[in-house]
Structure 1
Amino acid sequence: METARNVIHDRTFGQVVIGPPGSGKSTYCKAMRELCTAIGRRVAVVNLDPANDLLPYEAAVNISDLIELRDVMDSLKLGPNGGLVYCMEHLETNLAWLCGQLAKVRGCYLFIDCPGQVELYTHHSSVRNIVSQLQALGYRLSATHLVDSHYCSDPGKFISVLLTSLSTMMHIHWVNWQSVHNAVELPHINVLSKVDLVEKYGKLHFGLDFYTEVMDLSFLADVLSEDPFLKKYKKLNEALAGVIEDYSLVSFLPLNVQGRKLP
């Protein structure tokens, strides 16, 4: 029986595009595909989201050819979240199928569009294991974690986003060295998407640089304390901000996919 390690390929580079639902992952993949094509780069978009049946781009590889979320939900009586977890576990078990599909786009730069279920990147291991196995096979990948910039308009939500981003970075970087001997750490960037719309969501308490550089978060805790209901949670908010600052790992790059001017 063919295994993933039997698939021979040239060294391939790409991005694993992750993030919460609605953060613009598919739109990002579409825009980057158009940009790379315009400058003469060979590129392929890989859809690993079985819940995304209305793709805005032409997928060179589509997980729906292996498994469909609707079929899983109907046959196993699972909800959308449970169905997504099952699909990713099935993909992990059938990694040789994925490698065989990727071999068809050998030499292309990859944009791997992943599901929007946050738990897949903060708690569950399938996505992490799939990426680690691909790295062990010679794929040179990085993680692009997209977050909707509208969270900047709410200090409480932004702190939550920071915690999620930190948890994702730490989880997706973990490698089981006993089973993946040749794996390497995954380069990771966080992106604030839809920055062209950020002011439409609500007035920011600070300049955009405050949110992209993740500056002194005590200011956010002070803003939250101005709300009489949230004032009693000031120590909790300060403690959460302290955890984020202690690790000092999270920062963001602002992105507006509508601004496609080439240099």
Structure 2
Amino acid sequence: MSKFGVLVMGPAGAGKSTFSSALIQHCQTTKRPCYYVNLDPAAEDFDFEPDIDIKDLITLSDVMEEMSLGPNGGLIYCFEFLLENLDFLTEPLDQVTDEYLIIFDMPGQIELYTHVPILPNLVKHLMRGSLNINMCAAYLLESTFVVDKPKFFAGTLSAMSAMLMLEMPHINILSKMDLIKGTVARKDLKRFLDPDPRLLEDPRKPGDEEDEEEARARRDPDPASKENVMGGESFKRLNRAVGQLIDDFSMVSFLELDVQDEESVGAILSYIDDAIQYHEAQEPKEPNDAVDTDIGYD
């Protein structure tokens, strides 16, 4: 019988652990069993104690000290070590029933989701091996990115890269929505939820005059100048190309998340359940049926 899980991932600072805790809290409130797996070998503080913690197998600090590696190289080593010791995950997860939502809290190093093949190998083991977990990825991007449009589209491109690399059901989430309340108009926000490459167009309106210095820089740009590297026409063309690439694939759209809002967390969970087909596998229960709570949170 299938198990069910969600892979919570995204760049550093996107709020992955906070979201994982909010999911656990929501499951407790709704009397739904869940099982928490921490796969960040550098994580230290938890709102809820993990049922499985990769630090019981290997820690990033030990790897950096003993192997003389930096944080990124050390993280890759930790996951390579995990892949060599998959029984660490398989044995306890084998006891989890199909009533539980298994929450995998991932680290924030972006290379895990973009070009290093370690995570796809782990996902294959969890989804297609003996565990047979129906999983989806929840990719978090901080909502404050919408203030800097090129930064937002760079984050969107990383989300699309993760979707292509992992080849699994996938939802994308704009987290920390409470931080931009009142700063972005609702009609403008909709263009970010379903990324519109026209957001990267020059905001100059027809009839706006261009001063002499701007006209000269546009006609004869200096590719070595700092202004042109980060704000010149070449940079704008690069951003437009990225935006068009995202639009051509038409794969990425975002859901809104405010972890302080119980309804927002519940709405995200409903999308996760649809992606993993959780409710389709649950058998109707009599009102007095008891739920096994020997493992995980309920």
Q: What is the TM-score when the length of structure 1 is the normalising length?
A: 0.85
Q: Does 1:72 align with 2:63?
A: yes
Q: Does 1:221 align with 2:215?
A: no
The whole-number CA distance in structure 1 between the counterparts of 2:25 and 2:121 is 29
Give unpaired runs (5+ residues) of structure 1.
Answer: 1-9, 174-185
Matches for 1:168-179 after TM superposition, within 5 Å: 168-173=162-167
Q: Does 1:116 align with 2:97?
A: no
Answer yes or no: is the 8 Å Cα contact 2:4–2:135 preserved in 1.
yes
Match in the other structure for 2:44? 53
Match in the other structure for 2:193? 212
The whole-number CA distance in structure 2 between the counterparts of 1:11 and 1:247 is 31
Q: How much does 1:243 deviate?
A: 0.8
Letter in 1 for 2:6: Q
Letter in 2 for 1:110: I
Match in the other structure for 2:74? 83
Q: Cα distance 1:223–1:92, how it changes in 2: closer, same or farther (>3 A)?
A: farther
Q: Does 1:151 align with 2:145?
A: yes
Match in the other structure for 1:98? 89
Q: Which has the higher contact order (CA 8 A, sep 6+)?
A: 2
Match in the other structure for 2:123? 131
**Secondary structure, counterpart of 1:57 in structure 2:** coil
Please list the CA deviations of residues 158-202 of structure 1 after superposition, one character each: whole Å capped at 9, or x if unmatched. Answer: 1111111111111111xxxxxxxxxxxx100000001111248x6
- The CA RMSD over aligned residues, in Å, is 2.2
The whole-number CA distance in structure 2 between the counterparts of 1:21 and 1:81 is 12
Match in the other structure for 1:162? 156
The whole-number CA distance in structure 1 between the counterparts of 2:203 and 2:43 is 38
**Secondary structure, counterpart of 2:41 in structure 1:** coil
Letter in 2 for 1:160: A
Answer yes or no: is the 8 Å Cα contact 1:155–1:223 preserved in 2.
no
Q: How much does 1:104 deviate?
A: 4.1
Answer yes or no: is the 8 Å Cα contact 1:46–1:61 preserved in 2.
yes
Q: How much does 1:60 deviate?
A: 0.7
Which residue, out of 4, 13, 36, partners 2:4?
13
Answer yes or no: is the 8 Å Cα contact 1:49–1:113 preserved in 2.
yes
The whole-number CA distance in structure 2 between the counterparts of 1:119 and 1:205 is 33
Q: Does 1:193 align with 2:175?
A: yes
Which residue, out of 231, 235, 238, partners 1:236?
238
Runs of 4+ in 1 over 3 A off after TM superposition: 104-107, 202-206, 223-226
Q: Does 1:259 align with 2:261?
A: yes
Match in the other structure for 2:21? 30
Instruction: Give the % identical residues.
Output: 38
Letter in 2 for 1:251: S
Q: Cα distance 1:84–1:223, how it changes in 2: closer, same or farther (>3 A)?
A: farther
Q: Cα distance 1:199–1:224, how it changes in 2: closer, same or farther (>3 A)?
A: farther
**Secondary structure, counterpart of 1:207 in structure 2:** helix
The whole-number CA distance in structure 2 between the counterparts of 1:219 and 1:109 is 37
**Secondary structure, counterpart of 1:141 in structure 2:** strand
Letter in 2 for 1:187: P
Q: How much does 1:219 deviate?
A: 2.9
Q: How much does 1:11 deviate?
A: 2.1
**Secondary structure, counterpart of 1:32 in structure 2:** helix
Answer yes or no: is the 8 Å Cα contact 2:64–2:74 preserved in 1.
yes
Answer yes or no: is the 8 Å Cα contact 1:156–1:224 preserved in 2.
no
Q: How much does 1:54 deviate?
A: 1.2
The whole-number CA distance in structure 1 between the counterparts of 2:188 and 2:109 is 30
Answer yes or no: is the 8 Å Cα contact 1:146–1:190 preserved in 2.
yes
Q: How much does 1:213 deviate?
A: 1.3
**Secondary structure, counterpart of 2:171 in structure 1:** strand
Answer yes or no: is the 8 Å Cα contact 2:3–2:96 preserved in 1.
no
